Amino acid sequence: MITETVVTKGVKQQYAWLQDYIDSPEKQKQLYKRTLKIVILSQIFGGAGLAAGITVGALLAQEMLGTESAAGIPVALLTLGSAGAALLVGRLSQRFGRRAGLAAGFLTGGLGAIGVIIAALINSVFLLFASLLFYGAGTASNLQARYAGTDLATVKQRATAVSMAMVSTTFGAVAGPNLVGVMGGFADSIGIPTLAGPFILGAAAFILAGLVLLLFLRPDPLIVSTAIANAQEENSTVQEKPNSNSSPISKRGIVVGAAVMVLTQFVMAAIMTMTPIHMGHHGHGLREVGLVIGFHIGAMYFPSLVTGLLVDKVGRTAMAVASGSTLLASGILAAFAPGDSMILLICALVLLGAGWNFGLISGTALIVDATHPSIRAKTQGSVDVLLALSGASGGALSGMVVAHSSYAVLSLSGAILSLLLIPVVAWSRKVQSRELV
C-alpha cells in the first residue's frame, strides 16, 4: 500500500499520482487542457451570476433607500465582499488547491444572492447590504478562476490561458443583463420584487459554477504545478526546461501587475456603476439599461482570446498602454455623449469594458510571471483584494461625484486617471532595462 505524503518544498516523496504527472510532460498537457475546459464551463455560469448583480444592484438600492447618492453602495459592498473573499479564496487555494478555494467562493456567492432576494421581500436594507457582501464572494471566485488556467501553462501560454477562461465568461455575462426583463417579470409573477428577479438567476448561476468546480476540477492544477516546480528545483543537476511552470519571485513585477489592474478596475467600476442612473435620468427603461450593460460586460470578456494572444506576443507593457488609451477614449465619449443616445452610450461602455480587459489580462500575466507556484495563489488572492478595494472605492465615490456634480465630470475624471498607466509602464520598462544590463 502506497503511503501518501503531503507535497511540500524540499520533500522528495510525492503522492504516486503526482509523480506520474511530474514524470510525464504529456500528462501535464492533458491536464492543462482538461483544466481549461472545466474552468470555461464554470465561468459561463459565473459570468451570468456576476452580471445579474452589477446590472440592477444600484437600481435596487435606489428603490429601497429612496436616494441616488447611495446608489453606488451596492457595488461598493459587493466589491468589499469580493476583497475579503479574494484573500480567503487565495489562501484556501494555496493550502487545499484551486478546487476547494474556488468552489467555496462560488457557493458563498450563491447564498448571498438568496439573501438579497429575501431582503427585497421583507424590505430590509440591513440584510440587503449584508447579503451583497457575501454575494461578492462569487465575484471574487469568478475573477480568481482565471488563474486556474495558468497553473500548468508555459510562459508563452499564460495570457492566452487567462483569456480563454475570461472569454467563456462572455456567454453568461452577456446573457445575464439581457435576461433582466425576463427575470424581473418572473419574479413579479411569484410575488418577488421585480428588481430582485436577476438575483434568482445569480443564485442559481453561482451555485452551479461552484458545483462544477467541486465535482470536476480533479486533479487539482495548482497542487500538480507546485509539485512539478519543486521537483525541478530539487534536481539541481538538470537545467530548467523552456516549458517549465516555475517562476522566479519578482516583487517589482507583482507591484507593476497590481498597479495596472487596480487603476483599470477603479476607472471601470466608477463609470459603470453610475451609467444605469444616468440613463434613468434620460428616460431609459430597464430593458435599455440591460442592453447597454450587456454590451459593456460583453466587451469586458469577449475580446479576451485576442487580448491574450496579443499580451503573449506583443508584450505585457504594450497592452497595458493600450488599456490606458482605451479607457481615456471611453471616459471622453461618455462625458460628451448625449444622454438620450443609446448608440454613443453603448460605444462608450464597450470601450470601457475593452480597456478593463486589456489591463486585467496584461496585469494578470505580469503577476503570474513574477510568482512561484508555492506562493502563487496566496499572492494572487492578496492582489485581488486590492483589485476589489479599488472597485469598491470607484463604486462608492461615483455616486457622491455624480450627486455633487454630474456624470460628465465623473467620466472625465476616469479618463484622466487612466493616464496614470503610462508612468507605471515607463517605470516597469526602466526596471527591466536595468535588470538586463
Transcribe 280-327 into DSSP letters. HHTT--HHHHHHHHHHHHHHHHTTHHHHHHHHHHT-HHHHHHHHHHHH
Give the per-residue pLDDT at 71: 63
CB 221 within 8 A of CB 151: yes
Mean pLDDT, residues 284-290: 80
Q: Model confidence over 41-63: pLDDT tens digits?
A: 998 888 888 766 666 777 777 77
Mean pLDDT, residues 418-427: 81
User: CA angle 50-90-355, nearest 5°?
Assistant: 45
Choose the weakest-confidence range: 248-257, 266-275, 411-420.
Answer: 248-257
CB 362 within 8 A of CB 309: no
What whole-number distance in Å separates Cα of residue 354 and Cα of residue 167?
A: 12
Please report which helix (H) or strand (E) contains residue 13, including its range. Answer: none
- Which amino acid is present at 141? S
pLDDT at 214 over 80: yes
Helix boundaries (H) for 370-406? 373-404
Transcribe 69-124 into DSSP letters. TTTTHHHHHHHHHHHHHHHHHHHHHHHH-HHHHHHHHHHHHHHHHHHHHHHHHHT-
Q: Model confidence over 345-355: pLDDT tens digits?
A: 999 999 999 99
Tell me how long the chain is: 437
In this structure, what C-alpha cell is assigned to residue 108? 458563498
Phi-psi group of 283: left, alpha or beta (phi > 0 → left; psi -120 to 50 → alpha; rest → beta): left
User: CA angle 171-80-403, nearest 5°?
Assistant: 90
State the pTM of this model: 0.76
Q: Model confidence over 135-170: pLDDT tens digits?
A: 989 988 988 888 888 898 888 888 888 888 888 777
In this structure, what C-alpha cell is assigned to residue 45? 455560469
What whole-number distance in Å separates Cα of residue 53 and Cα of residue 177?
A: 9
Phi, psi of 249 (to 5 degrees): -85, 125
Give all domains of the chain, ordered by start, each with its CATH number: 16-436 (1.20.1250.20)
In this structure, what C-alpha cell is assigned to residue 19? 509523480
Name the 3-class secondary structure at 372.
coil
Transcribe 23-45 into DSSP letters. H-HHHHHHHHHHHHHHHHHHHHH
Which candidate, 253, 259, 244, places its Cα nearest to that of 367?
A: 253
- Residue 242 — pLDDT band, cuts 50, 70, 90? very low
Name the 3-class secondary structure at 419.
coil
Mean pLDDT of the chain: 83
